Structure 1
Amino acid sequence: MNDEQKKKLLDRLRKLMALSRSANEHEAAAALEKAQALMREFSLTEDDLDLADYGTAESPAVFVKPGQRLPIYVAMLSQVIEYAFGTSAVWDNSGRDTKVIWIGPLSKTEISAYSYTVLARLLQKKRSEYKFVALLQERNSGRRDARADTYCEGWVQGVRNNIMPCTPSEKEKKLSDLFTGQKFPFMGKADMRGTGLSASESSDAYSDGLSDGRKTRLQAGMKGEKRSQIKETRYLEFGA
C-alpha cells in the first residue's frame, strides 16, 4: 500500500469511526463493525488513525550553516517554541541549508515553523544591533561575538518568561514519540557550543538581553487563526 492509498484508507476509517458515534444504534454498530474489519485486514490500530493528524513543517535555522555547531541560544529558541505550542523540533543539516523540522499535530506544526522564523529573524537583528552599539569599544572580535551570543541567551530567556506553556497530554506525547520514531529513526543529538565566557564576563550582556527579550510577546493563534502574533513593545511604544 502506497502513501496515497493509506491516506484514503485512514480517511475512510475516520469517517466510519465518526459514524460509530451516531445516535442511530444500527448505523453506529454497522460503522464500528466495518471499521474494525478494515483495521484487522490492514493491521491498523487506533494510534495509526490518530497519527494521520500528525506531520511536520520546516523553517530555516537562520543562525546555523551545515557543519557548524549549534549555538546554545538557537537551541533555547527552539525550546521556546516547543514550550509555547507543544511541538517537537529536530535539526536537519543534510542539505545545503540547515533546517528546523517541527513535529506534532498538523494544526500546530505550521504555526511553530512560522513563529520560530519570525523570532529568529528578530533575534538576528537584535544581535547585530547589540554587537554594533553596545560592544563598539570591545576590540577583540572573538569576545565581541561571545558577548553578543550571551546577549542572545538572555533575550531568549526574556521571551520565554512571557509565555504560557502548552503542555501536551500523555496521549499527544506518546503519538509524537511514535511519529518521530517512524519518520526519524536515526536522529542524533545536535552538537552545541557555548560562549566560553565566565559568569562575571557575561552578566551584563545576559542582563541586557533578558531586559530586551521581556519586551517581546509571542501570542499563540486562537482556533481558526492561521498564525501566531509576535509583538515587540519597543516598536508599539508601550511596556517597559
Structure 2
Amino acid sequence: MENNDKLLAKIKKLLNLARKNTNSHDASLALERAQKMMREHRVTETDVALTEISEASSEGAPSNANKTPRYMSMLIEIIRQAFGVQSYLAWRIGKRTVVFYGPDERPEVAAYAFDVLTRQMMSARREFSAGQRGSARVSAGQRGSARVSAGQRGSARVSAGQRGSARVSAGQRGSAQEYQANHLDSAG
C-alpha cells in the first residue's frame, strides 16, 4: 500500500510537470515517463486523481435518530456548499458521525466547522427551549388574573374629550393620574 502511494505520488508529480512546464521538450518527456509508469503498473489517471481526495470525520452528530432531523440536514448542506465537499453519515463506536470528503484539506476544515457549529446550535436550541418552557408557565399563571368583570369594563372607557387631556409630555414627571388631576383643575 505504501509503495503504491509512492508510485501514485511520483506519477502525479510527472503529470503536473507535464501540464505546467513551459518548455515543451521537458513537458513531453515528463508525460512519456508518466504514461510508461502508468502502463507498467496498470494505473489510470482516475487512480492518480483520487489521491487528492481525503476524508475527515466529525466528532459526533447532534442526533442519533434513524431519520436525520431537518436542522442537521440543513447544517450539513450549508457546510457542503461552503467548503466544496461531499458527505455521508456513518456510525462509529455507537454514535453517528458525519464524514466529509473532498480535495486537499477541505474535509478537515468542514468537519471542524461542523463540530463547532453543532455545539453552538445545540446551545442556542437549549436556551430557546428553556425560554419557551418559562414563558409557557408565566402565561398559564396570568390567564386567571387577566379576567375583567363587566363592571370594570365600563369604567375603563375614556370619552373623546378626555383622550386629549390625558396626554403627558416627555418633560413632565409624575404619574399620569397626577398630571390629569392638575391639568383638569387648571382647566376648570
TM-score by length of 1: 0.52
Task: List runs of 5+ in structure 2 lacking aligned partners.
Answer: 138-188
Cross-structure match for 2:177: none
CA deviation after TM superposition for structure 1 residue 68, in Å: 4.3
Kept in 1, the 8 Å contact 2:86–2:102? The answer is yes
Task: Report Cα offsets for 1:58-88 as digits up to 9, x if no partner.
Answer: 10333123x6432121111111101211211
Moved beyond 3 Å, runs of 4+: 23-26
Please list, as runs of the form range in 1=range in 2, the aligned pairs for 1:16-95 lying within 5 A after superposition: 16-20=14-18, 21-65=20-64, 68-95=66-93
Cross-structure match for 1:136: 134
Q: Over the residues paired in the alignment, what is the CA RMSD in angstroms?
A: 1.9
AA at the equivalent of 2:119: R
AA at the equivalent of 1:63: P
CA deviation after TM superposition for structure 1 residue 123, in Å: 0.4
AA at the equivalent of 2:61: V
CA distance in 2, matches of 1:57, 1:7: 19
Task: List runs of 5+ in structure 1 lacking aligned partners.
Answer: 140-240
AA at the equivalent of 1:70: T
CA distance in 1, matches of 2:104, 2:22: 30
Cross-structure match for 1:121: 119
Q: Cα 1:68–1:137, aligned 2, differ >3 Å: closer, same or farther?
A: farther
CA distance in 1, matches of 2:22, 2:70: 54
Task: Report Cα offsets for 1:24-47 as digits up to 9, x if no partner.
Answer: 343322221110011112222222
CA distance in 2, matches of 1:94, 1:121: 19
Task: Report Cα offsets for 1:144-175 as digits up to 9, x if no partner.
Answer: xxxxxxxxxxxxxxxxxxxxxxxxxxxxxxxx
SS of 1:70 mapped into structure 2? coil
Cross-structure match for 1:200: none
TM-score by length of 2: 0.65
CA distance in 1, matches of 2:21, 2:75: 45
CA distance in 1, matches of 2:108, 2:29: 37
User: Paired residue for 2:9, among 8, 11, 26?
Assistant: 11
The higher relative CO (CA closer than 8 Å, separation ≥ 6) is in 1
CA distance in 1, matches of 2:112, 2:92: 21
Kept in 2, the 8 Å contact 1:60–1:97? The answer is no
Q: Whose helix fraction is larger, Structure 1's or Structure 2's?
A: 2
Query: Aligned residues: percent identity?
Result: 32
CA distance in 2, matches of 1:106, 1:138: 49
Cross-structure match for 1:224: none
CA deviation after TM superposition for structure 1 residue 14, in Å: 1.6
CA distance in 2, matches of 1:95, 1:68: 16
Kept in 2, the 8 Å contact 1:16–1:35? The answer is yes
Kept in 2, the 8 Å contact 1:56–1:106? The answer is no
CA distance in 2, matches of 1:16, 1:95: 41
CA distance in 2, matches of 1:79, 1:15: 34
